Chain A
Amino acid sequence: MNLHDLLSNCINQACQQVFSTMLGVTLAQGEVSVESATPDANDGVVSLIGLAGTWTGTGSIGCSPMLACRICSQFLMTDVQAVNEEVLDAVAELTNIIVGSVKTDLEEHLGPLGLSIPTVVYGRNFKMRSTKTADWTTLRFDWDGEPLLVRLSIAPTQETVHSRLHAPAHACDAEA
């Protein structure tokens, strides 16, 4: 299994589990793509969270303001119509839980990883740029016609051969 397959499996599993458990929503499998180190310009709400260890990287979730409000409404069982602090906090926490779940799965392959506190951006036509050159594994989920983009970019900090990466291909989908 290569790195992108591993990441996409872990992200798919984490997203489906988190949406089902915390939001009561069944998500279909995400559409996987690999993007260059500089993703396209973004509009809406993007939440970013850092990973650090012998591998370092960034996880992000991006969605429209409408979907961010829906996430918050479902999360808190309340009706939210406009992006406010509560919405940004809900998207940040969703990112924390999803990327945290992915991190726990990845640790079996990549060793211990630390997780930063999430940062949320809300605006138009902004670009994300990482000083790392790793590609982004991107999964596009659909929630009633609104796209949710979950991205992860991670690369080793040392010239180490991580043979465990080529170990069990089913490791990420074994957990119930």
Chain B
Amino acid sequence: MSCEKHDWKAYALGELDRPARAEAESHHATCVRCREELATLRLTLDTLSTLREEEIPRRIAFVSDKVFEPKWWQKGFFEKVLSPNLAAACVIAAAILVHAFARPSGPDPAQTQALIQAQVSAAVNEAVAQQTAATLNDLRPLVEQVRQTFIREQGIVRQ
């Protein structure tokens, strides 16, 4: 049993301040029990220090978040090119969907058909009239010539 006054464990573990250490050392020189106590303690600590430190089986490392971040050119592409296009496509898609579901009901197909038919007939009639007029114009000198010939022949006959 060592002297209660001195904390040899704190001494051996380097936890005493300088004055307490000096006091313990002066006592150590004169006390057999304390010498034995400290020697046993040091032997225990030396034995504990023989424990092998093991190598870590796998190194620990973390992957940089930057790896997963887009590069500057990718950022430019995503921010300046892809995103506006994507946004525009989304807007168009939304507009189509809204139009598809919310548009007013259209005209009756039969009416549309009749209207188209009328327009086609009018166009055909107009074309025929124009063609007829053009043909009459072409025939007018011939008719005049025939008429003059006829008049002349009539006059001959009267004479």
A pairs with B: no
Taking Cβ atoms with an 8 Å cutoff, the residues of A that contact B are none
Chain B residues close to A by CB (< 8 Å)? none
